[in-house]
């Protein structure tokens, strides 16, 4: 597969803008190496909404629906990409059903993540949002590693990344994380001896219990106010 795509390969330096939000879309991209940031205008400022690693593809929606780019793509590191125009992309989908199937699965996964994101933004408090976000990310990592709930798991996302996902400021997220650390529900990666900006969840089950506690507390407070 990669051999057939080599003629579409291009190198991009770190910081290169591949396309901008609002532009017409003519190409889609497959990441061979490096990382790509996907950015979007939110509340008057540009925010990073995703960081895509090698093996991921992006930019296909503008080709499929004929609309303008919904986000900006920037090379986070030096990156090698396959750049495929709309005509070639359509021909590949027709000739290789397995590519179409992979695309459908990837789009379904992205839709699922988008639904989780909306659910997070609808939660009532910073505590709810951060705890639920950590739980989702921990479960994603466990699925990738084929692990169960009874083991510690590294969530390789720092405070800024969590803040972007839950629609809060970094200071609010830090306050919640500090409370979770004090309760032994979360460790920073460095606390656990890991060189990373992420967090270690000793037991995901305890996070679920804490969410249940928050829900019961909200119900009790609502009755008290009533």
Q: What would the pLDDT profile of 76-92 be if each residue is shown by its tens digit?
A: 999 999 999 888 888 87
Residue of 42 and 200 predicted with greater confidence: 200
Chain segment 147-200, per-residue pLDDT in tens: 655 678 888 888 888 887 788 888 888 988 888 888 888 888 887 888 777 888
- For domain 125-225, the CATH architecture is Orthogonal Bundle (1.10)
H/E run at residue 73 = strand 72-75
Distance CA 211, CA 90 (A): 45
Distance CA 91, CA 191 (A): 51
Strands (E), 134-180: 153-155
Query: Where exactly are the structural domains of the chain?
Result: 2-116, 125-225
**Secondary structure of residue 150 in the 3-state scheme:** coil
- 31 DSSP β-pair partners: 81
- The verdict on domain 2-116 having CATH code 3.30.70.1380 is no
The DSSP call for residue 15 is T
Strand pairing report for 17-19 and 45-52: unpaired
pLDDT of residue 71: 86
Spacing of C-alpha 173 from chain mean position: 17
pLDDT of residue 29: 93
Which percentage of the chain shows pLDDT scores above 90?
A: 15
């Amino acid at each position: 597969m990669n051999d057939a795509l080599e003629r579409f390969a291009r190198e991009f330096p770190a910081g290169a803008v591949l396309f901008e939000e609002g532009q017409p879309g003519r190409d889609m991209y497959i990441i061979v190496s490096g990382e790509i940031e996907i950015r979007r205008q939110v509340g008057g400022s540009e925010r990073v909404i995703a960081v895509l690693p090698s093996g991921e593809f992006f930019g296909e929606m503008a080709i499929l629906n004929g609309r303008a780019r919904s986000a900006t793509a920037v090379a986070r590191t030096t990156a090698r990409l396959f750049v495929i125009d709309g005509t070639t992309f359509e021909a590949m989908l027709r000739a290789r059903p397995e590519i179409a199937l992979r695309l459908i699965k990837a789009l379904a996964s992205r839709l699922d993540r988008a639904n989780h994101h909306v659910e997070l933004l609808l939660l009532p408090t910073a505590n709810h949002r951060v705890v639920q976000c950590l739980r989702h990310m921990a479960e994603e990592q466990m699925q990738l590693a084929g692990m169960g709930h009874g083991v510690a798991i590294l969530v390789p996302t720092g405070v800024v990344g969590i803040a972007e996902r839950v629609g809060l400021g970094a200071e609010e997220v830090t306050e919640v994380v500090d409370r979770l650390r004090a309760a032994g529900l979360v460790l920073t990666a460095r606390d656990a001896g890991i060189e990373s900006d992420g967090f270690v969840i000793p037991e995901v089950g305890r996070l679920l219990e804490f969410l249940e506690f928050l829900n019961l507390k909200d119900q009790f407070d609502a009755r008290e106010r009533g």
